[in-house]
Amino acid sequence: MEIAGVEARRVERCGSTNSVLLEAGDAPRPVLLVAGTQTAGRGRRGRRWHGAPGASLTFSLALRVHRPVRELAALSLVAGVAAARALRASGIGRAALKWPNDLVVDGAKLGGILVETRSLPAARATLAVIGIGINLRGADALAARLRRKVTAVDRFAAGTSADALVAGIARALLEAIAAFEARGFEALRAEWEALDAHAGERLRLRLADGRTLTGVGAGLAQDGALRIRTRAGVRAVHSARLLSARPA
């Protein structure tokens, strides 16, 4: 797999591609690691990434970023825009985003994103490791196992090769992160909102402190927080789990 300016690596098996790249440390040029199987794949908040061997695409991209640390929470949103762009270009025309880090089609989960960072004081930068997992096939079995809606690439773009999908997403990531480096999240906020699977819907969220919040999705704040219109006014939510969504 050849991607200009990127060191591409492949392993048949590892615990977590994110962990491997974080442990490797500084990446003066971008490093892409693709795993045939992850034995300890992770999702957001330490949740396990579920995927049978050969049925999912798992990879991570490590690179330096130079935006202020306070802006880095938006990196998962930047990565979501890039992944959705590439998926749509690969034939999955209804690929959309569920805040903050899921890739969905018609309400069913297609994939997820996990961004982890490490400070690089000597380089005056941050090492960002962007991990992406995408279901390639076997959606029915996975949905039955997890008891929620799941979908896979083979339902929409059966002729797309895994390597082509990885390369397309990696190139889109580099492009999106270059825009983020130049202008911050504002460069991509409108595109994220256009890809929002639940724009204008009535959402029920579980907040980080365990409370629930209900309101209508109203796009994103400048820092990537989800804006919710409630009876008390518009509230910006930085950390929450989306429990349900329905037409407003």
For 162-207, what is each residue's pLDDT tens digit? 999 999 999 999 999 999 999 999 999 999 999 999 999 999 999 9
Residue 30 near residue 138, CB atoms below 8 Å: no
Over residues 21-47, the mean pLDDT reads: 84
Q: Tokens standing for 233?
A: 């006014």
Helix, strand or coil for residue 38?
strand
Return mean pLDDT, the chain: 93
For the chain, list the domains and their CATH numbers: 7-195 (3.30.930.10), 201-247 (2.30.30)
Residue 209, classified by CB atoms within 10 Å of its CB into exposed (0-12), middle (13-18) or buried (19+), is exposed
Q: Provide the residue type at 87 as one letter.
A: L
Lowest-confidence pick of 41-45, 51-55, 211-215: 41-45
Over residues 17-28, the mean pLDDT reads: 95
Which pLDDT band holds residue 44 (cuts at 50, 70, 90)?
A: low
| pLDDT given at position 213 | 97
Q: Is the pLDDT of residue 45 over 60?
A: no
Structure-token match 């460069």, residue found: 187
| pLDDT given at position 146 | 85
Over residues 122-132, the mean pLDDT reads: 97
pLDDT tens, 59-103? 999 999 999 999 999 999 999 999 999 999 999 999 999 999 999
Residue 155's closest CA among 82, 105, 195?
A: 105
Structure-token match 């995408």, residue found: 134
Quickly count: other Cβ atoms within 10 Å of residue 19's Cβ.
Answer: 18
CB half-sphere exposure, 170, CA atoms < 13 A? 28
Which pLDDT band holds residue 220 (cuts at 50, 70, 90)?
A: very high
| pLDDT given at position 142 | 86
CA separation for the pair 238, 234 (Å, rounded): 13
Q: Where are the alpha helices (DSSP H) in 90-240?
A: 139-146, 162-183, 186-195
Q: Is the pLDDT of residue 46 over 70?
A: no
Residue 141 near residue 83, CB atoms below 8 Å: no
Over residues 115-130, the mean pLDDT reads: 97
Terminal Cα-to-Cα distance of the chain (whole angstroms): 45
> pTM of the prediction?
0.93
Q: Provide the residue type at 11 as one letter.
A: V
Per the model's pLDDT, the better-predicted residue between 1 and 104 turns out to be 104
Which residues are CB-contacts of 103 (< 8 A; sequence separation ≥ 6)? 80, 83, 84, 87, 95, 96, 97, 109, 110, 111, 112, 113, 134
Q: Is the pLDDT of residue 51 over 80?
A: no
Which one-letter DSSP state was computed for residue 103?
Answer: E
